[in-house]
Amino acid sequence: MTRIPAPVEPPVALTIAGSDSGGGAGIQADLKTMEAHGVFGTSVVTSVTAQNTQCVEGEFTLPVEEIEAQCSAVLSDFDVRAVKTGMLAEAPVVRSVAKRVAGLDIPVVIDPVMVAASGDRLLDSEGEDAYQELIEHATLVTPNADEAEVLTGTKPVDDESSRAAGENLLELGADAALIKGGHVPGETVRDVLMTADGVETFTHDRIETNASHGSGCTLASAIAARLAQDDDLRESVAGATAFMERAVRYHLNVGEGPGSVHHLAELRNEAERDSTAEAVERVVQSFVERDVSALVPEVGMNVVGATPYAERVGETAAVEGRITRTIAGVKPNRSVRFGASSHVARFLLSAREFDPDLRFAVNCRFDDDVESALSTLSGEVAEFDRSAEPEDVKEREGSTMGWGATRAFESAEGTPVAIIDRGEVGKEAIVKLLARDTEELQRRTLAVLSALES
């Protein structure tokens, strides 16, 4: 039987950058990131590097005519919706690319790659001077602090100096500038977006890792991919910075160096939604069949499962309305859906800050008998005391679970198997069991139940 084709027509983006033999940055990072965003990536290779997670061992810049031939081949055939530039290596290449993008009526994202994460220089001094010609045609330029200083003479060390550097880049002709905060000191990373309409700062927690290889390439490519899909600039930057935060936190432990950002973390996470929900459903069904009534608290029980790279409540699956006791045993009020849990989900996400491998949790009734039954578990049981909760935390909606998980983990030697919340006036005492997989969660829950029944 001959089948008819069913073609897909994704938007197309173009990256003009160097090749990274280590796979984490450059053209390789750009194409992975574009694919992760549902965009077809085309490429023009400007330079070939002998590079890994530790250093750049060698670099060869292609002749300008070869680079221009690649540009002509791509632009004459594909409906390119956005362009991203990365490593351009030498002044003649920078000027050639500037002339090429000057004739395009599509978004152009300029990532002024000058120094590798390893500290090796990737652009000569003449190339730095030539960048002004390219910046004149930028929809957005995305320098880190060091690159911003080279381009503008202003070293970003805080919001004020970042805005000053951004304003200088706008004066050089860019429509907008994103001064990246990864190299700026502080507990949070603050990416400052400057446009003709004003300034906006995108803030996220700093992740304590050196595995940032490819982060600049990945961020610029994510923005270009979103622009290729007709997102506006502000939406593109907001989405790309969130994409980068996940890619850095769940980085890839490859090579002998610090490692690489995980370009496909968000895509992999999305792909695991169905299997995560199905896993929660299997646990719920096993609890119904076993009749876990003795462990169901007055507020109801919930089983929560997080996708592998979950960062938000909407990326956790749980029973809508919880599991409650009935005359015949226990029964889920409704089906499993994402975002259905609030308290247990926030607790699990907070626990994942200490052990990202934790993916499942269940809340159970707690009293002296349950506490005795918990002693049969193999692993540490931690707890937190609500009476020690600061008033400012109590006043913030939804903050108690994060505070409680933090207190419990800080008091434990490793990852607890269970965390006790002894409650207070108007708050029922609860114990939450934690696990890396559903088998572990069921085993721990049913071991407590068996000990309680006996």
Splitting the chain (454 residues) into consecutive groups of 10 residues, what average pLDDT does each group show? Answer: 93 97 94 97 96 88 97 97 95 94 95 70 74 93 91 89 92 94 82 92 88 90 97 96 94 90 95 97 96 94 97 96 91 94 93 96 95 93 85 74 90 93 85 97 96 90
The neighbour count for residue 308, using CB atoms within 10 Å, is 16
Q: Evaluate whether 382 touches 408 at the Cβ level (below 8 Å).
A: yes
Tokens at 452, concatenated: 């309680």
Q: Does the predicted model carry a pTM greater than 0.85? A: yes
Number of domains observed in the structure of the chain: 2
Residue type at position 236: S
Same domain flag for 290 and 212? no
Residues 402 and 308 grouped into a single domain: yes
Q: Which domain holds residue 216?
A: 12-270
390 vs 202: CA distance, rounded Å: 28
Final residue of a structural domain among 270, 289, 308? 270
> 77 and 106 in one domain?
yes
Q: Are strands 40-51 and 108-110 parallel, antiparallel or unpaired?
A: unpaired
Residue 202 pairs in a beta bridge with 191
Q: What is the spatial distance between Cα 393 and Cα 198, in angstroms, rounded to a whole number? A: 33
Distances (CA, A) of 290 to 145, 362, 392: 58, 15, 42
Q: Please indicate, yes or no, if residue 170 is contained in any of the structural domains.
A: yes
Compute CA distances 424 → 225, 226, 386, 389, 441, whole Å.
50, 48, 7, 11, 27
Sequence-ordered alpha helix ranges (H) in 8-121: 26-36, 64-75, 91-102
Specify whether 297 is located in the same domain as 190: no
Q: How far apart are CA 328 and CA 361, in angstroms?
A: 25
Decide: 308 and 273 in contact? Cβ < 8 Å.
no
User: How much is the pLDDT for 122?
Assistant: 65
Residue 2 lies in a domain: no
Q: In the prediction, which pLDDT does 339 show?
A: 95
Q: Residue 58 corresponds to which tokens in the numbers above?
A: 């060698």
Give the whole-angstrom CA distance, residue 383 versus residue 151: 52
Residues 218 and 321 in one domain: no
| Residue 6, in any domain of the structure | no
259 and 295: one domain? no
Looking at the structure, tell me whether residues 262 and 286 fall in a common domain.
no
Given this model, what pLDDT does residue 183 score? 76
Burial class (CB in 10 A: 0-12, 13-18, 19+), 351: buried
Same domain, 254 and 285: no
Domain membership of residue 3 (yes or no) is no
Residue 101, domain member (yes or no): yes
d(CA 364, CA 416) in angstroms, rounded, equals 15
What pLDDT score was predicted for residue 54? 86
Q: Are residues 223 and 95 in the same domain?
A: yes
- Residues 247, 310: one domain? no
Do 247 and 340 fall into the same domain? no
Distance CA 156, CA 77 (A): 41
User: 4 in a domain, yes or no?
Assistant: no
Query: Which of 384, 192, 398, 248 minimizes the C-alpha distance to 312?
Result: 398
Cα distance between residue 134 and residue 137, in whole Å? 6
